[in-house]
Amino acid sequence: MNVLGAILKDSFHEARDRRALFVVGLMACLAIAFCLGLSFHERDESELLALHLSRLGKFEKQSSGGQFLQSVGFEPRLEPTRRILPDDGFDPSLAGGWTLGFSVVKEGELESLQKAWIEFRGRKNEEAGDPLRWVEQQLRVQGWQKLAVRRDPADPLRYEVGALCTRKERLSGAYRASIFFGLVQTDDEINRSREEFVLSIQLVLAGALLGAIGIFVSLLTCAGFVPSMLTKGTLDLALARPVGRTRLLLYKYLGGLWFIAITSVVVVGGTWAALALRTGVTDLRYLVMAPVSIAIFAVLYAPLVLVGVITRSANVAGLAGLGVWWASSLIVTSYELTSGFAEYSAGVRGSMQALYTVVPKTSHIADLGQRWLIEARLGGAEGVGRMLDEVRQVDWAFSLGTTAAFTAACLALACWWFRRADY
């Protein structure tokens, strides 16, 4: 433990001296600041019913020319919204829903509103139906599933709406969010619950952490660890100690992982805490992204160590690490998109199959982490399909097995080379 402790501590000192700590620290701060700058607002269903009703006079349509808006003077007098009671006389299927009474200024105002809407839609010849059904239809568009609109028999200017929604995230305007401390407002209709919204942000962060930014920075940061140990004059000091070469190299590899592990824990933990603070969502499962990112780095760091031992150059080792990452991503993606190059000749198919078997499949590890996170939070394939643009069919045992074999082979080769060399 003494030796391992010394090398882990030394790796941290080295990273600090190379300003790597500054770079990853800056990244962590930016990610945490982004999360702290998020805000999420949620409206009550009762508030939403009043809002949707007051919007009846605001028409909107989408066409190839873009979005068209028109506002006509419809300003109903709204009464307070309340829960539907059994003796309100609404259909029992609306039980648990909301009722809202509203009055128009003059008789026939709803009919006029309906006609204006038909004109706005460019259907002048369409016959206006029952205005109460039209109001129901308009509210249904806003996400209410069960509706009933009726006239007050005692007052010709007064109407009553009964509405029920079983999935609040379907209601238009139920949620609003802003980023960068309110500087940028997201679309009014994000149609995602607080949990789903936080999950989508966490997936974006995980994508950045596990993908382009995180891996790129991590590989470049740690590229010099092994070559610096192998510097002439430095290595002699270490090799003269009672530590075997294999142990020395593997501990150095662990030193790189250690630094990235600390960074990942800070970034994932920090963003989790910031999101929890801003949104109240405290689900701990997001923290699984830390070990997932460490696992991806562990795979890509192995070829970097191998090339570092052979060339003793930080630049070449860094480029090799990035090269393996990009090349393997390209091979894996091409193989999956072409269903194993099914339409090509047997020779091409065989070569690509061999390549696909050999290369590390880090994107699958990232997928596994993301899928687990989504399934744990939203449940099942439906949630995964909703949250991810692309859902790949992966043979996990084969994928993780070959990736682990690639990592082990690189490390074994690096150790063999390091053991046999004269320094």
Partner 1 sequence: MGAVDLAIEVRGLEKRYRGKRGVHALRGVDLGVARGEIYGLLGRNGAGKTTLVKILLDIVRASAGSAALLGEPSRAVHARRRVGYLPEDHRFPDYQTGLSAMEFYARLSDVSRVERKRRVPELLELVGLKDAAARKVRGYSKGMKQRLGLAQALVHDPAVLFLDEPTDGVDPVGRAEIRDVLLRVRGEGRTIFLNSHLLSEVEQICDRVGILEAGRLAREGTIEELTRVSGAWKLELDREADVAMQERLRAHALRVATHGRELHLEVAEEAALDRCVDLLREQRYGLRGLSGGRASLEQVFLATVEEEVRS
Footprint on this chain of partner 1 (rule: CB under 8 A)? 2-3, 5-7, 9-10, 13-14, 16-18, 228, 231-244, 420, 422-423
d(CA 63, CA 409) in angstroms, rounded, equals: 58
The nearer residue to partner 1, 15 or 302, going by C-beta atoms, is: 15
Give me 8's structure tokens: 């882990």
Dihedral angle, C-alpha 378, 384, 389, 392, nearest 10 °: 160
The nearer residue to partner 1, 15 or 100, going by C-beta atoms, is: 15
Beta carbon of residue 317, minimum distance to partner 1 (angstroms, whole number): 17
Residue found by looking up tokens 């994508």 in the block: 207
- Measured on CA atoms in the order 187, 190, 195, 197, is the torsion positive or negative? negative
Residue found by looking up tokens 């090349």 in the block: 327
Helices 245-279 & 212-222 angle (0-180, nearest 10) = 150
The nearer residue to partner 1, 34 or 259, going by C-beta atoms, is: 259
CA 151 to chain centre: 47
Dihedral angle, C-alpha 315, 320, 326, 328, nearest 10 °: -170
* Number of alpha carbons in the 13 Å side-chain half-sphere of residue 409: 9
Beta carbon of residue 234, minimum distance to partner 1 (angstroms, whole number): 5
Beta carbon of residue 421, minimum distance to partner 1 (angstroms, whole number): 9
d(CA 365, CA 348) in angstroms, rounded, equals: 26
The nearer residue to partner 1, 140 or 419, going by C-beta atoms, is: 419
Dihedral angle, C-alpha 284, 288, 291, 294, nearest 10 °: -110
Alpha helices in 59-211, H assignment, sequence order? 109-120, 131-141, 194-210
Beta carbon of residue 25, minimum distance to partner 1 (angstroms, whole number): 17
Helices (H) and strands (E) in the chain, counts: 16, 10
Beta carbon of residue 1, minimum distance to partner 1 (angstroms, whole number): 10
d(CA 8, CA 11) in angstroms, rounded, equals: 5
Strand partners, 301: none
The nearer residue to partner 1, 248 or 267, going by C-beta atoms, is: 248
The nearer residue to partner 1, 235 or 410, going by C-beta atoms, is: 235
Residue found by looking up tokens 């829960």 in the block: 83
The nearer residue to partner 1, 68 or 423, going by C-beta atoms, is: 423
The nearer residue to partner 1, 149 or 235, going by C-beta atoms, is: 235
Beta carbon of residue 9, minimum distance to partner 1 (angstroms, whole number): 8
Beta carbon of residue 341, minimum distance to partner 1 (angstroms, whole number): 42
Beta carbon of residue 2, minimum distance to partner 1 (angstroms, whole number): 5
Q: How far is CA 58 from CA 55, 100, 191, in A?
A: 5, 19, 20
The nearer residue to partner 1, 3 or 400, going by C-beta atoms, is: 3
The nearer residue to partner 1, 106 or 232, going by C-beta atoms, is: 232
Give the DSSP per-residue string, 257-306. HHHHHHHHHHHHHHHHHHHHHHH----GGGGGHHHHHHHHHHHHHHHHHH
d(CA 369, CA 286) in angstroms, rounded, equals: 9
Beta carbon of residue 289, minimum distance to partner 1 (angstroms, whole number): 30
Beta carbon of residue 312, minimum distance to partner 1 (angstroms, whole number): 13
Beta carbon of residue 419, minimum distance to partner 1 (angstroms, whole number): 9
**Quick count: other Cβ atoms within 10 Å of Cβ 49?**
25
The nearer residue to partner 1, 16 or 58, going by C-beta atoms, is: 16
Residues in contact with 376: Cβ distance below 8 Å, sequence separation at least 6, in sequence order = 285
Residue found by looking up tokens 């128009």 in the block: 104
